[in-house]
Amino acid sequence: MSLLNILRYPDPRLHTVAKPVHEVDERIRTLVDDMLATMYAADGVGLAATQVDVHEQVIVLDTSESRDRPRVLINPEIVERSDETVLAEEGCLSVPLVYDKVPRHARVTVQALGRDGALQRFDTEGLEAVCVQHEMDHLRGKVFVEYLSSLKRDRIKTRMLKKAREEATRV
Ligand code: NI
């Protein structure tokens, strides 16, 4: 397993729209395993393939306390959503140290292929429901900070670019 490089906002590649996976083969299973290792190493609850510069519809997540219940969603679709929404504080491995509230459906029913290629369908709520919606946005090329005001977003962009410059000069 290898750790993958996570793209940082405002990298334009984060706005690429992911294509559906045609076949869950060895290449996809390797991607899934590398994404899980990368997510756990970065202490994240979710990661979309877009964030590691692979533009196919693959998501990994684990919102369990014990960090041992990985979920793999390939070609995910939300087939039902609650009218009720929640405002949860979100963060993102592509936008380190930025947290803000975004409205999401409180409950969703998700349909996706798993790592074994089998179709799964499940209902979820709470943190996992928020996480699924956040990661599915990544696959559409949308980063959560794009829900915020342009003023806040510009501030975040400036901060991220400054941080990247600092890191680049620190050799
Ligand atoms: Ni994210």
pLDDT tens string, the chain, 171 residues long: the values are 899 999 999 999 999 999 999 999 999 999 999 999 999 999 999 999 999 999 999 999 999 999 999 999 999 999 999 999 999 999 999 999 999 999 999 999 999 999 999 999 999 999 999 999 999 999 999 999 999 999 999 999 999 999 999 988 876
Joined tokens for residue 46: 């979710």
Q: Residue 113's beta-bridge partner residues?
A: 74, 119
Whether this model's pTM surpasses 0.75: yes
**Token code pair at residue 90:** 């979100």
Active site members: 135
The alpha carbon of 91 and the centre of ligand 1 are apart by a number of angstroms equal to: 7
CA of 44 to the centre of ligand 1 (A): 9
* Tokens encoding 14: 């984060």
Take residue 104 and report the two structure tokens written for it.
Answer: 């999401």
CB 116 within 8 A of CB 92: no
The H or E element containing residue 48 is strand 46-48
Determine the distance separating the centroid of ligand 1 and the alpha carbon of 37, expressed in angstroms. 16
Dihedral angle sign, alpha carbons of residues 14, 16, 19, 24: negative
Task: Tell me how far the alpha carbon of residue 24 lies from the centroid of ligand 1, in angstroms.
Answer: 23
Amino acid at position 77, single letter: E
